[in-house]
Amino acid sequence: MMTTLSDETMLLDDTARLRAAAAFVREHDSASLLPLLLPGIGGPDLRALAGHCHFAHAGMLVFPPDEESLRARLADCGLTVDTPSHPSVVVRGRLARRHRRDPGELDVRILRPQVLGADGERRAVEVFALTVPPHSGLERIAAHERAHGHEAHLAFEIDHPDPLVLRGLCAILARYGARPDGGGYNPHEDGTVLYFTTPAAAACAYRRLELYAHGDHRDALAAHLDHPEPNTRPSAGTTATGTTATDPATTGARPPAETLLHLLTGAWSTQALASFARLSLPDAMDTRTARRTEDLARLTGTHPRALATLLSYLAMLGAVTREDLPEEGFRLTELGALLRADAPATMRPLALMYGGPFYRSFGELDHSVRTGQAAFDHLFGENHFDHFARDPELADLFDRSMAAGSRMFGPLPDHPALTAAAQAPASATVVDVAGGNGELLRRILTAHPNLRGVLLERPHAVAAARRLLDAAGCGARCDYRAGDFADVPAGGDVYVLARILHDWDDDRCREILGHCARAMPDHADLLIVERLLPTDGSPSLATAWDLHMLCNVGGRERRAEHYARLLADVGLHLHGHSPLPLDGHVLHVRKTPAPAPRKP
């Protein structure tokens, strides 16, 4: 039977908890609080913790029916009402795993109304707000979370985070009995969160501790997540941190034989998802309502029992979820919806490509490892660019699969080089070299109406890009050049080279970069989008793509210093690099200044 509470009871309960959290924050500071959370800590360890981080906030999860009600509760507690809110990535994911729900159903926001401590230091009450409208079916989640307080915690913000400091602080916490309890990176705030469970002997009602570090600290996060979360029981096929069982950072929790078995069956997951897309099953399903297997089989022309087997496996992968109807049925999840043909930034072309030509070439991976040559060339008798060019449908699929990874480009239009160009008095020009179907250039020109664009690509890709940019209303500000890398247009203000260099060996990269350097005026910027291999061997998508590039195109991923050497060889300088989604990076490159003439 579902547990329900009246809206008034829910609000009053949340109000009392908000008041208690605000009072706690006002009364405590780092020096007094850490010994309560970590019994026995003192001396150098206490000084190290208190010296590198400060008590920042008390966190709690509340359940308003809507945002207006939440703001009213904040006002009742004397907390700032106009505090901005941001989506919560970490807590939403934890709730989804704990209650086996689709994350897309859980609208969780973060607000941090400020509180002034007794010592005059500014702190906050971190409010996670899960919207629970009346009769939404989420009341049971609210009742459970209030009873157990999984998300209640105390947070310490690291003042000057760097990898060594972060790992050192984690080691101190572990010495005094704190256990890793999940975490994540929130791109909306550019912040990394590490959660810990405090020891049973802690003299504090709050049982969870958070370390917060501004920025993207993937290496420390991967090491931290190499432990199962105590509050989360993993379902088959996933770890407690919500990553797939093939994630090297999380396989340590299983016995070796079970871990190996899960790794060996990774190919089954690829083909199950590819078949899901090829059979157009996501398009016949819905994220809101479950459908019977028999109905789905009739709509897609599939065998009911065989389809049920596939859907059960896909439920284990998180692409669908099984629900009890009068008869059993399946509902599409937010993850599975990415494979719908009509989904914004659909990933269906990637599933077809990875489950098609690239899947076949990976069967010849041993050839690449023995010879250092692309297995794709060995299998198909030509490199993948020539092979796709001979088949218009395959070429179109490849271009669409590249566009499907465009989530990596999300923050790129806000890069300082582009914003500076957009604010220049004269109209500036962005040159997208080998820009595919124009998806990245569309994002840039849409974000900056004052910019003009030039796209250089093969003839069939130019035609596709023209259609996309015209449909987006950017076509009038864009010119198109059909050609090769030797045809890079001169005179641009910002040049973009996105996911190109990893296709090639070092000699070809120097050639491509040389063409760009010769075309660039002295004031121009070059933005290179690639995945960077980690320097410490930590888990990264770049490591996986390094193998993919070896097998399928004969290229490679590289470290930042490797790119710096290639750039220096052609008179370019790596000015810096910053992270992008999907483990991507943007490298900011400028021409190497000419040496000043010597005075006689």
Looking at the fold, whether 370 and 227 belong to one and the same domain comes out as: no
One domain, residues 299 and 378: no
Total structural domains within the chain: 4
- The answer to whether residue 250 sits within a structural domain is no
Terminal alpha carbon distance of the chain: 92
Q: Which residues contact 61 (CB under 8 A, 6 or more apart)?
A: 91, 128, 129, 130, 145, 150, 151, 152
Residue 114 lies in a domain: yes
Predicted TM-score (pTM) of this structure: 0.59
pLDDT in tens, the chain (600 residues): 333 334 443 444 788 888 888 888 888 888 888 999 998 898 888 888 888 999 999 999 999 988 888 888 888 888 887 788 888 877 888 888 888 887 778 888 898 899 888 777 889 999 999 988 887 788 888 888 888 888 888 999 998 888 778 888 888 998 888 988 888 877 667 788 898 988 888 888 788 899 999 888 877 887 787 654 433 333 333 322 233 333 333 333 456 787 788 888 889 999 999 999 999 999 999 988 889 999 999 999 999 999 999 999 998 888 898 887 666 789 998 889 999 999 887 899 999 999 999 999 999 999 999 999 999 999 999 988 888 888 888 888 887 887 776 667 888 998 999 999 999 988 999 999 999 889 899 999 999 999 999 999 988 889 889 999 999 999 999 999 999 999 999 999 999 999 999 999 999 999 999 999 999 999 999 999 999 998 877 778 889 999 999 999 999 999 999 999 999 999 999 998 988 888 889 999 999 887 766 666
pLDDT score recorded for residue 246: 34
Q: Are residues 50 and 154 in the same domain?
A: yes
For 175-194, letters b (16+ CB in 10 Å) and e give ebbbbbbbbbbbeebebbbb
- State which of 344, 368, 385 marks the end of a domain: 344
Q: What's the pLDDT score for residue 45?
A: 85
Pairing of strands 328-332, 320-324: antiparallel
318 assigned to some structural domain: yes
Strand partners, 123: 115
Amino acid (one-letter) located at 509: C
Residue 486 belongs to domain spanning: 405-591
CATH number at residue 451: 3.40.50.150
Are 337 and 369 part of one and the same domain? no
- Asked if 409 and 440 count as a contact pair (C-beta separation under 8 A), the reply is yes
Query: Would residue 544 count as lying in a domain?
Result: yes
Q: What is the CATH number of the domain that holds 29?
A: 3.10.180.10
Q: Can you give the CATH number for the domain in which 340 is found? A: 1.10.10.10
Helix (H, G, I), strand (E, B) or coil at 590: strand
| Residues 222 and 295 occupy one common structural domain | no
Do residues 391 and 306 both lie within one domain?
Answer: no
Closest CA to 437 of 396, 385, 394: 396
Distance CA 312, CA 285 (A): 15
Q: Which amino acid is at 148?
A: H
Please check whether residues 411 and 379 belong to one and the same domain: no
Q: How many Å apart are CA 394 and CA 392, to the nearest integer?
A: 5
pLDDT, residue 235, reads 32
Give the tokens for residue 258.
């079970």
DSSP secondary structure code for residue 105 in this structure? G
CB-CB contact of 215 with 191 (8 Å): yes
Neighbours of 301 (CB within 10 A): 8
Q: Are 534 and 561 within 8 A, CB to CB? A: no
Cα 518 versus chain centre, distance:
35
Q: What is the pLDDT of residue 251?
A: 34
User: Is 471 buried (19+), middle (13-18) or exposed (0-12) by CB count in 10 A?
Assistant: exposed
| Same domain for 541 and 435 | yes
Annotated catalytic residue within 224, 367, 387, 502: 502
Q: Residue type for 228, please? A: P
Query: Does the residue 351 lie in any domain?
Result: no
| Same domain flag for 123 and 93 | yes
Do 209 and 295 sit in the same domain of this protein?
Answer: no
Question: Domain boundary residue among 197, 214, 236?
Answer: 236
Same domain membership, residue 198 and residue 98: yes
> Is residue 502 annotated as a catalytic residue, yes or no?
yes
- What integer pLDDT is reported at residue 248 of this predicted model? 32
Indicate whether 441 belongs to any domain.
yes
In a domain, 254, yes or no: no
Whether 518 and 569 map to the same domain: the answer is yes
Q: Which of 345, 314, 344 is nearest to 330 (CA)?
A: 314
CA 418 to each of CA 173, 277, 414, 434: distance values in angstroms, whole numbers, following the listed order: 42, 36, 7, 18
For residue 158, the surrounding DSSP H or E stretch is strand 153-158
Question: Residues with Cβ < 8 Å from 450, sequence gap 6 or more?
Answer: 422, 423, 427, 428
> Are 106 and 92 contacting, i.e. CB atoms less than 8 angstroms apart?
yes
Domain boundary, last residue among 296, 312, 344: 344
Asked whether the beta carbons of 497 and 512 are under 8 A apart, the reply is yes
Alpha helices in 318-456 (DSSP H): 334-337, 348-354, 357-362, 365-371, 375-380, 384-389, 392-404, 416-422, 439-447
Q: Contact at 8 Å (CB) between 550 and 374?
A: yes
- The tokens for 290 are 């479950």
275 neighbors 311 (Cβ within 8 angstroms): no
Chain length of the chain: 600
Looking at residue 242, what is its pLDDT?
31
Residue 349 maps to a domain: no
Which residue, chain included where needed, has tokens 């008390």?
58
**Helices (H) then strands (E): counts for the chain:** 26, 19
Q: Coil, helix or strand for 210? A: strand
